[in-house]
Structure 1
């Protein structure tokens, strides 16, 4: 990945700065700050098996750059390159360099309360409302998955038909948000999802910090305190309970089940 990142930098006329490296899930991505003729940027390299190098995840950031409105604070995508070498395909993206830090560093779960002002929370609400209105044929959550997974992981008979669909970021957690100035990172998987999905996901990842979970419920009540919003919470709980069967998010399991019981009564 380091060798291919250097190849990408050369192709984009960029020079890595310093020794900082940001690695993604299981080493699938590698990002570093770089210098270009137009100033400092952030160079992100994505790797995938050659036969899977493309499709929705590959095109997500480019489509977000084209379609997301100004109310959504995201790094601008300036250039991109794709190529295949051996058994792997690569995608290099040159983004704005954002100086604000992500609220969590290595995991999506919130474990202590960040200091975020009212402007941050209002900006988040405005951004999610704006994302929800973006027309797209991309899909973040599939009805077929819900039909299968919700009864299995919730452990109850349930009507799995999504009551309302909107566009969602699809991976809204604390490692994809910055503070004290709000930026939303990671636009690979955005697309159609149950209405309220982003709010429900951020809320679930905040359950270990009750004050922040309560602030989310207050700030995004217009989304969460609706039948569609409650259904979105059940969708998220389904997904996260499934991850616990693989050994992930185990710290959240008890709180997820408590929230499940609170919703279903």
Structure 2
């Protein structure tokens, strides 16, 4: 998903991955998948998927650290790979967590978060995704996990979109539902940031991250209309637009989306 980090971080994370694989009696193989600035490293490990996450010692814990483990309480109607085992350790000033998952056999929809072309997903895929979003939204929003903070959205939506925030309907969301985090199964990957968010936030992410291909975006808007047509989804849509515009100067694919997002906002 991201480029490899600095060589010292690469060496440290590879050593942690090797230790984790030995602990589980496996060997990490195949393509390395790096997280932002080398915070995570994932790859196949035998018939499983091995993910290693790190933090400075003493800074581990919290929402992102515990997201995957706490997501196991979500209903099985939300399709995701099973998390089998977790192992924690600390060494040389860093804390590590190894997570061993079932291997999702189907590839991700896109190698990067946004769509550059029509992925050719069948209608059955969209029905399954809509059902998964409905099942997730039916989960009472957790009091101890926030995918989007209310204080944040009330600040950035007027600042970056020119729209005002009315009443917010909160629901449970994945929080990072882009095309590199969903497979053609579909399976939904990477649950570290799940929590409460404005209703429709996940569906809005899928729609807005397709805006580089207008025809595909129009189809996705139709497929997700059961969610996005609800009035309470407006705040979720505005939140994603604001996040894109806020980060366009430091995230390349947000910069690509900025123009289409401005056009979308002009139509709202």
Tell me the TM-score normalised to structure 2 length: 0.90
Q: Which residue of 1 aligns with 2:208?
A: 204
Match for residue 33 of structure 1 among 44, 49, 54: 44
Q: Which residue of 1 aligns with 2:5?
A: none
Q: Residue by residue, what CA displacement relative to the aligned partner does 1:206-254 show, whole Å, maximum 9, x if unpaired?
A: 0011222122211221211122112211111001111103243111110
Kindly indicate whether residue 194 of structure 2 is the aligned counterpart of residue 190 of structure 1: yes
Q: Quote the Cα distance in structure 2 between the aligned partners of 1:120 and 1:223.
A: 16
Kindly indicate whether residue 18 of structure 2 is the aligned counterpart of residue 11 of structure 1: no
Q: Which residue of 2 aligns with 1:166?
A: 171
Q: Residue by residue, what CA displacement relative to the aligned partner does 1:83-120 show, whole Å, maximum 9, x if unpaired?
A: 22222211100000111111111x21110111211111
Q: Quote the Cα distance in structure 2 between the aligned partners of 1:256 and 1:245.
A: 14
What secondary structure is seen at the aligned counterpart in 2 of 1:207? coil
Kindly indicate whether residue 62 of structure 2 is the aligned counterpart of residue 55 of structure 1: yes
Q: Which residue of 2 aligns with 1:115?
A: 120
Kindly indicate whether residue 92 of structure 2 is the aligned counterpart of residue 86 of structure 1: yes
What secondary structure is seen at the aligned counterpart in 2 of 1:101? coil
Q: Quote the Cα distance in structure 2 between the aligned partners of 1:79 and 1:187.
A: 15
Structure 1: gaps spanning 5 or more residues? none
Q: Quote the Cα distance in structure 2 between the aligned partners of 1:212 and 1:184.
A: 20
Q: Which residue of 2 aligns with 1:127?
A: 132
What secondary structure is seen at the aligned counterpart in 1 of 2:156? helix
What secondary structure is seen at the aligned counterpart in 2 of 1:102? coil
Match for residue 263 of structure 2 among 226, 242, 258: 258
Which residues of 2 match residues 233-244 of structure 1 at below 5 A? 233-244=237-248
What secondary structure is seen at the aligned counterpart in 1 of 2:58? helix
Which residues of 2 match residues 133-152 of structure 1 at below 5 A? 133-135=138-140, 136-137=142-143, 138-152=145-159
Q: Quote the Cα distance in structure 2 between the aligned partners of 1:28 and 1:200.
A: 27
Q: Which residue of 2 aligns with 1:74?
A: 80
